[in-house]
């Protein structure tokens, strides 16, 4: 996000307008973090805002490039001819791969190619454009090129027209070469995953499996090796075997994806999983956070999990296995506040029992006596809210997945002095 902000600032400086970098970062962060707007869309929104604020014409910013297509002048280009962002083009290409997306704003995303190159494409949900199919060729009229971290992609928008063509377009050897043709992608270290859309294979250990409520996602969590950790998503459509937390695997033909400057890997129908008879060492990526527990969120306390996939049940049903006879578990979804940051944290059964003093058997008995599972959450809130804790764990998205937690009798006095000083300056 910082690189995007610097790029926007630099472009405005060329026009003689010096916009404070922190103002650009603030608007980008609000759109991306709070409103979950994709970074490309957020970038365009921020540019538009500051153009209006400074009475500048869009053509001045985009170097005379139109922001809407002219059907008479939009050129037909080969994919290797896409060498600048913000350009309207027409292309003929074959859909090589469709990726599942958990982002509601994205209708379809994947890779297309022709005889000269391959490129990532994005189709937004808000635009009424027919879906494309893997393996078919299309004439894409009025798509827009975008550049991100030195790589190009195209986006389909409300002005785009998609026409299926009979021609079977020959495609250059692509980043997905090896996937689906029996040849695995090269094995890389987790720390070396740094290119969006690239096919790789990794040897990694499943560090954590997380709950998820998306029907399209079979499993999601964290895998790692000696060089680092990375989020993984296994799509339901891939029909791959379930992974076990703590086990090590060879993941063949997974796709690296970048979202808001963070990388993850996705397992799809071209991927394969081989369990390894070894315990892969995972690099430590722990952080420490201290603060007061200001909330114990709903979904905490006594819950039930699917006996098959261990997902938390919603109204007695698993997203993947339907109505099941769930098994009881305890967890705490806490919010810790250090005076500057409200940090969401997730504690599994052992830690929930440790800090609340309520065992799983206690919780089951309490719920049975009260005929209400919510009584456990109420008791946890009474015992924990307002107390200070220090947690250690992995930071993933907005959560800390807690490995250890220690109570603090009092807030650290040095921290308290800093908070008072900050408050006096406001």
Of 136-140, 267-271, 309-313, least confident by mean pLDDT is 309-313
The segment with the largest mean pLDDT, out of 59-68, 176-185, 400-409, is 400-409
Pick one of 3.40.50.2000, 2.60.40.420, 3.30.360.10, 2.40.50.140 as the CATH number of 190-275: 2.40.50.140
More confident residue, 23 or 211: 23
Distances (CA, A) of 144 to 148, 154, 194, 383: 13, 5, 24, 55
Range with lowest mean pLDDT among 17-21, 218-222, 315-319, 341-345: 315-319
Q: How confident is the model at residue 302 (pLDDT cuts 50, 70, 90)?
A: very high
99 - beta bridge partners? Answer: 109
Which pLDDT score, from 0 to 100, does residue 99 have?
78
Contacting residues for 135 by C-beta, under 8 A, at least 6 apart: 94, 95
Among the listed ranges 2-11, 314-323, 343-352, which one has the minimum average pLDDT value? 314-323
Closest to 332 measured CA to CA, from 349, 316, 312: 349
pLDDT above 90 coverage of the chain, percent = 33
Domain-by-domain residue ranges, the chain?
Answer: 2-62, 76-164, 190-275, 286-407
The domain 286-407 belongs to what CATH superfamily? Nucleic acid-binding proteins (2.40.50.140)
258-262, 357-361, 409-413: least confident range: 409-413
The confidence band for 178, taking pLDDT boundaries of 50, 70 and 90, is very low
DSSP 131: P
pLDDT tens for 25-48 read: 888 888 777 666 777 777 888 888
Q: Please report, for the chain, how many H helices and E strands are present, in that order.
A: 8, 20
Average pLDDT of the residues of the chain: 83
Q: What torsion do the CA atoms of 319, 323, 325, 327 make, to the nearest 10 degrees?
A: 20
- The string of pLDDT tens digits covering residues 157-175 is 888 999 999 988 888 655 5
* Topology agreement, domain 190-275 and domain 286-407: yes
CB 138 within 8 A of CB 93: yes
Q: What six digits make up the tokens of 389?
A: 């804790």
The upper half-sphere exposure of residue 401, i.e. CA atoms within 13 Å in the direction of its Cβ, equals 13
Q: What is the mean pLDDT of residues 260-277?
A: 86
Segment (H or E) for 218: strand 217-225
> Looking at beta carbons, which pairs linking 241-245 to residues 24 or more positions away fall under 8 Å?
241/273, 242/218, 242/309, 243/206, 243/209, 243/219, 243/273, 244/206, 245/206, 245/207, 245/208, 245/209, 245/221
- pLDDT score of 55: 72
Residue 31 DSSP label: I
In angstroms, the CA 7 to CA 150 distance is: 12
pLDDT of residue 62: 60
Three-state DSSP class for residue 71: coil
Are 205 and 224 in contact by the 8 Å Cβ rule? The answer is: yes
Q: How far is CA 116 from the centre of its chain?
A: 30
For 375-407, write each residue's pLDDT tens digit. 999 999 999 999 999 999 887 767 888 989 999
Query: Domain 76-164 is of which CATH architecture?
Result: Beta Barrel (2.40)
CB 138 within 8 A of CB 165: yes
Entry pTM: 0.47
């Amino acid at each position: 996000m910082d690189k995007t902000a610097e790029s926007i600032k630099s472009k405005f400086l060329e026009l003689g307008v010096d916009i404070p970098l922190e103002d650009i970062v603030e608007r980008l962060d609000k759109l991306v973090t709070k409103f979950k707007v994709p970074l490309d869309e957020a970038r365009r929104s921020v540019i538009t805002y500051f153009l209006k604020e400074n009475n500048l014409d869009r053509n001045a910013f985009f170097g005379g490039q139109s922001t809407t297509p002219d059907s008479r002048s939009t050129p037909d280009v080969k994919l290797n001819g896409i060498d600048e962002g913000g350009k309207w083009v027409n292309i003929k290409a074959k859909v090589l791969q469709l990726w599942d997306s958990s982002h509601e704003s994205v209708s379809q995303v994947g890779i297309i190619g022709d005889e000269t190159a391959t490129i990532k494409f994005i189709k937004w949900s808000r635009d009424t454009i027919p879906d494309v199919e893997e393996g078919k060729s299309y004439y894409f009229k009025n798509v827009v090129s975008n550049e991100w971290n030195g790589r190009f992609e195209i986006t389909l928008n409300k002005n785009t027209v998609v026409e299926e063509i009979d021609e079977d377009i020959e495609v250059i050897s692509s980043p997905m070469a090896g996937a689906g043709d029996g040849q695995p992608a090269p094995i890389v270290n987790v720390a070396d995953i740094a290119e969006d859309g690239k096919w790789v294979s990794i040897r990694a250990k499943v560090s954590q499996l997380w709950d998820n409520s998306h029907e399209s996602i079979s499993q999601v969590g964290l895998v790692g090796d000696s060089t680092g950790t990375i989020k993984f998503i296994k799509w339901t459509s891939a029909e791959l075997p379930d992974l076990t937390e703590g086990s090590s695997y060879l993941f063949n033909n997974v796709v690296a994806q970048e979202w808001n400057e963070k990388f993850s890997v996705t397992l799809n129908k071209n991927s394969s999983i081989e369990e390894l008879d070894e315990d892969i060492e995972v690099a430590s990526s722990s952080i420490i956070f201290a603060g007061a527990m200001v909330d114990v969120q709903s979904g905490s306390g006594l819950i039930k999990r699917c006996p098959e996939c261990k997902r938390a049940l919603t109204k007695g049903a698993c997203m993947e296995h339907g109505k099941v006879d769930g098994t009881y578990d305890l967890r705490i979804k806490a919010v810790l506040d250090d005076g500057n940051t409200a940090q969401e944290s997730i504690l599994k059964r052992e830690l929930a029992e440790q800090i609340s003093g309520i065992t799983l058997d206690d919780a089951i008995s309490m719920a049975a006596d009260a005929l209400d599972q919510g009584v456990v959450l109420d008791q946890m809130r009474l015992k924990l809210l307002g107390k200070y804790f220090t947690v250690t764990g992995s930071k993933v998205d907005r959560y800390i997945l807690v490995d250890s937690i220690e109570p603090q009798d009092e807030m650290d006095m040095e921290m308290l002095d800093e908070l008072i000083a900050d408050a006096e300056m406001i």
